[in-house]
């Protein structure tokens, strides 16, 4: 289903993000998670690329398998990193031939330790160019782009950052999905600035439940600019073990989701890390059932 049809049919969307497994054990974990999350009737699920496209083929395989073997609407991530325009064109042809109707168009980050992003030979310089290309050559596809409530680490000028986001929307993006955040103030302010900039497409809030103190430290290393509110840090610090830390993280994400729903968010996108437990608990505590989740 095209993403615009999903937004037109439902006041609020709920979606999940997965990443391609790299081992038989992680593949089994993902299989079980998808099996457990499917009854929640997500609006769509997305599948990421690895750093620098290192898991590109795994992504393609997972996307097509989900499309063929489930009733889920799939949104495949596509990045500019390491791919020429002809290569990306071939990927898009494969996706459309296999019934994939939506793409998350991202510039992507260079592999860790390789320095700043450098466009591939005969590749796109940024996501705006990719969006415009998809819109021109594959007009039947829905297109999502990323938003950064706490600011993009490479664009300290927040006014310029909003200009770049507006350019992606003007090039043909159908919706914006934000990076994760733990303080809703950042999202609500970001959404307001989008409105002031003339951005009218749906804006989805990206949430990732912290499931352990270790995962929070890892998240801080990977994201670089994510703000962890002092109340969350204090609560995690009180957790006597990983079980209690997980409960703290789930409770925090649930409170975030409730507040976002009270503020008429168009959708909530859960970064699942290929696990089902946290997202399932949040659904339960929100009082969301599969029959009413998308109404």
Alpha-carbon separation of residue 228 from 76, 95, 216, 217, 233 (angstroms): 29, 37, 9, 10, 7
- Using DSSP's 3-state secondary structure scheme, residue 265 falls into coil
Place of tokens 């073997």: 69
**At a CB cut-off of 8 Å and minimum separation 6, what does 145 contact?**
104, 105, 106, 127, 131, 165, 168, 169, 173, 175, 176, 177
Count other C-beta atoms under 10 Å from residue 261's C-beta.
Answer: 14
Alpha-carbon separation of residue 269 from 45, 80, 124, 205 (angstroms): 9, 22, 27, 6
Give 73's DSSP letter. Answer: -
**Residue 136 has which token pair?**
């021109």
CB 111 within 8 A of CB 51: yes
Total count of residues recorded for the chain:
295
- Report angle CA 102, 260, 244 to the nearest 5 degrees: 100
Question: What are 76's strand-pairing partners?
Answer: 47, 103
Question: What are 235's strand-pairing partners?
Answer: none
**Catalytic one of 17, 129, 150, 161:** 17
Place of tokens 């993000």: 17
Task: Return d(Cα 242, Cα 210) in angstroms, integer.
Answer: 11
Q: Sort strands 74-79 and 102-106 into parallel, antiparallel or unpaired.
A: parallel
User: Helices then strands (H, E): number in the chain?
Assistant: 11, 8
17 flagged as catalytic = yes
- The catalytic site residues sit at 17
């Amino acid at each position: 289903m095209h993403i615009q049809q999903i937004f037109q049919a439902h006041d609020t969307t709920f979606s999940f993000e997965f990443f391609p497994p790299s081992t038989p054990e992680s593949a089994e974990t993902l299989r079980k998670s998808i099996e457990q999350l499917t009854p929640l009737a997500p609006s769509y699920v997305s599948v990421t690329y690895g750093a620098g496209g290192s898991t590109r083929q795994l992504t393609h395989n997972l996307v097509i398998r989900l499309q063929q073997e489930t009733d889920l609407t799939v949104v495949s991530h596509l990045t500019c990193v390491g791919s020429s325009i002809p290569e990306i064109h071939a990927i898009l042809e494969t996706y459309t031939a296999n019934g994939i109707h939506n793409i998350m168009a991202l510039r992507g980050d260079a592999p860790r330790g390789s320095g700043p992003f450098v466009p591939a030979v005969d590749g796109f310089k940024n996501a705006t160019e990719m969006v415009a290309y998809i819109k021109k050559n594959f007009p039947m596809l829905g297109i999502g782009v990323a938003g950064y409530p706490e600011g993009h680490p490479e664009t300290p000028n927040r006014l310029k950052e909003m200009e770049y986001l507006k350019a992606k929307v003007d090039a043909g993006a159908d919706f914006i999905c934000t990076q994760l955040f733990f303080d809703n103030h950042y999202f609500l302010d970001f959404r307001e600035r989008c409105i002031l900039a003339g951005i009218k497409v749906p804006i989805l809030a990206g949430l990732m439940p912290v499931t352990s103190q270790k995962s929070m430290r890892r998240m801080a290393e990977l994201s670089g600019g994510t703000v962890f509110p002092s109340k969350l840090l204090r609560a995690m610090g009180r957790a006597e073990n990983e079980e209690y830390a997980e409960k703290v993280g789930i409770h925090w994400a649930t409170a975030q989701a409730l507040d976002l729903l009270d503020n008429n968010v168009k959708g909530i996108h859960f970064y699942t890390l290929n696990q089902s437990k946290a997202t399932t608990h949040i659904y339960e505590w929100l009082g969301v059932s599969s029959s009413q989740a998308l109404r």
